[in-house]
Structure 1
Amino acid sequence: MVTAVDAADIAKPVAPKGGGLWRYILVRLLLIIPTVFILVTVVFVLMRITGDPITAALGGRLPPDQLAARIAQAGYDRPLIVQYLEYVGGILRGDFGTTLTDNRPVIEILLQYGSATLELAIYALFVALLIGIPFGLIAAYKRDRWPDATLRIGAILGYATPIFFVG
């Protein structure tokens, strides 16, 4: 059965589905929170797999009584859940603890060397944008043809292959 279609129904604009770019950016920014939480948890677990970090770092160089005193001072003799909650609580307060080797605050080291890392990350972002946006436009324009396939393969190889510069 065929129905008559009103000309006004044909002329109605179709509203785009989804929220567009800003919604995508917002979702990605919100995903930073669970990603950092998971990363912090994984680092904590990996540091505790071998026991406590003090024994792993200084086990053969300190007498047992000094080693036990350092472990108690750092709180590694408490239950693991208590250590984890204190670890996460310290990070939320901006207290990243002290280094095992020279007892310097970690925040001091981050401030000293973090600017070079931040500078490198910003330069890497600019390079990625300068290369990624034009190549992404080419791949989108030539979708499912050889330029798209070539750029996809190149992107996967570039992303998955470590590059070492010898200076």
Structure 2
Amino acid sequence: MADSVGTIGLVLAWVFALVIAISLVLLGIIAWRRRTLLKTPGTFPAKALTAVGGEKLATARGVVVSYHESSVEVLAVWSISPLPYFSVARHVLELHRDTSDHRTGSDVRLELLDLDSGARITLALSADHCAELTTWHESGPAVGIGHWREAPERVQRRRYF
């Protein structure tokens, strides 16, 4: 009897140690992913205030915004998935800066809208990052001129993962 209790206790201790080890590895992967994403040029941290459909989130979700040649992507911070939470091509992107909110905080509200699908997401980000994203968006070729009437044919290779 005492031998079986000791064996069960030993098995439970090993299972508990395995769960702790897996949890630590996952937290390490998430921390490494966030650090790698934020060191990539064209990325910055933000908070998602609404979900992709437009419904308000109960709490702001930490995200990383990444923009490159042809699109902008919003990636979840606390995830190991390489897929973006929200992605929109540059030629169908529309930005709306919320100026109605007269808060004293440093965050600026910016809405990203996909003109094709109607999907939208509202982000809270610093004024510097808002200026960075709007400058990137405005510096692209004008929509309707040349190849920007259609989606770009060349897909840029992902710079992470």
Bigger RCO (CA 8 Å, 6+ sep): 2
TM range (shorter): under 0.3
**Whose helix proportion is higher, 1 or 2?**
1
**Whose strand proportion is higher, 1 or 2?**
2
Structure 1 length-normalised TM: 0.27
